[in-house]
Structure formats: C-alpha cells, structure tokens
Amino acid sequence: MLGSWLATVVPTDFTLAGVELHLASNLQAVFFISGVLRLIVSLGLLRTFHEARPVEPITHRQLVTELPFVKPLTDVFTGREGR
C-alpha cells in the first residue's frame, strides 16, 4: 500500500548535485526506494539468525560439489559410484 501511495507522489524528474535525471516513469524510483529499503532491512537482520542444531563445517568447494546438479557430474568424472 505504501508503494501505491509513493507512485502518486514521487516525481519523474530528479536533480542531485547539478545532475538532472529524467525517468520514463516514477515507478523506477519506487522500485529503487523499495530495493534500498529491502537492502537495509536484510543487512540489519544478517547476523541475527543462527542454525539451531550443531552442524559440521564444510568448505565452499565441498558445498558446490554436493549440489544436486553438480554431484552426479563429479561422480561420473571421478569414477565414484552414486549412493
């Protein structure tokens, strides 16, 4: 509901530090504002969630090789049998 209200009040022309910006639609500004606000919220919540159960550490390489699409290919190329 806030986005629909913003679409009625946000202008299509902006001037910042002497640079004029003419948008085709004010919806571009609304989406930009929405994206910035989502980024701020996600960065604020980044370290607040943790895994509830104990997990064993894994490297990025091991994680990538365990992906559903990559694991069968690595098994074929390394000669391992599937589980």
Region 34-49: mean pLDDT is 93
Alpha-carbon distances of 64 from 31, 68, 77, 81, rounded to whole Å: 33, 9, 15, 18
**Alpha-carbon span 50 to 39, nearest angstrom:** 19
Portion of the chain with pLDDT greater than 90, in percent: 22
Q: What is the pTM of this model?
A: 0.56
Q: What is the pLDDT of residues 20-40, one digit of tens each?
A: 988 888 888 899 999 999 999
Residue 54 has pLDDT above 80, yes or no: yes
Q: Domain boundaries in the chain?
A: 2-44
